[in-house]
């Protein structure tokens, strides 16, 4: 039942590394034009700036038409909305990815019961839970850049350490010495 493939369908093993090297050497093909959405994505900041200055979509369209870029005002408005929408969804995905990685870090950290078993003075962790909840709410409201997110995590960790130190100091036993006259 085995079919014999024609000779042109078979490739010698020794040619495969050469073919891989030749394919890797190929650079991206430069296209003479790009889709309108890609062009608007590249011009987005300047278009938004001009719109904030009081120009209309039709006026922006006529400026672009003078440069041989023919996109009507309504189409420009639509494409700009699509670009904004896709950017928001990309930012949302990045925020979700950061949240997942943060959840993994929290899950790999010692659990509350492990901490309180070894350090009973840390049994009250209510302020830490509130702090984490506030932190998550802030992330939902406004996605941050990765650098700002890392700084917030660092600040949060420092705050938690200070709270634990204050709790430990308040629970520390300090003997009080009495004079014979006080008894």
- For the segment 52-79, the average pLDDT, to the nearest whole number, is 94
For residue 125, name the pLDDT band (cuts at 50, 70, 90): very low
Residue corresponding to tokens 């209309």 = 56
Give the model confidence (pLDDT) of 82-124 as tens digits.
Answer: 999 888 777 777 777 777 766 665 555 545 445 445 555 544 4
Domain map (residue ranges) of the chain: 31-90, 110-171
- Distance CA(69)–CA(176), nearest Å, equals 85
Q: What is the mean pLDDT of the chain?
A: 76
Nearest to 120 by CA among 109, 112, 131: 112
Q: What is the pTM of this model?
A: 0.40
- Distance CA(137)–CA(42), nearest Å, equals 32
Q: Check if the beta carbon of residue 99 is closer than 8 Å to that of residue 139.
A: yes
Nearest to 58 by CA among 41, 80, 73: 73
pLDDT at 163: 84
């Amino acid at each position: 039942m085995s079919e014999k493939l024609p000779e042109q369908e078979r490739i010698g093993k020794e040619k495969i590394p050469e073919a891989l090297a030749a394919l890797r050497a190929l650079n991206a093909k430069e296209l003479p034009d790009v889709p309108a959405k890609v062009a608007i994505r590249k011009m987005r900041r300047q278009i938004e700036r001009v719109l904030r200055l009081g120009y209309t979509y039709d006026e922006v369209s006529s400026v672009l038409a003078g440069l041989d870029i023919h996109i009507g005002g309504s189409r420009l408005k639509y494409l700009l909305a699509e670009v904004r929408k896709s950017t928001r969804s990309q930012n949302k995905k990045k925020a979700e990815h950061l949240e997942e990685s943060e959840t993994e870090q929290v899950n790999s950290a010692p659990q509350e019961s492990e901490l309180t078993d070894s350090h009973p003075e840390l049994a009250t962790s209510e302020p830490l839970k509130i702090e984490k909840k506030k932190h998550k709410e802030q992330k939902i409201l406004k996605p941050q850049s990765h650098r700002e997110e890392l700084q917030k995590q660092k600040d949060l960790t420092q705050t938690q350490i200070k709270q634990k130190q204050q709790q430990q100091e308040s629970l520390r036993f300090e003997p009080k010495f009495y004079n014979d006259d006080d008894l």
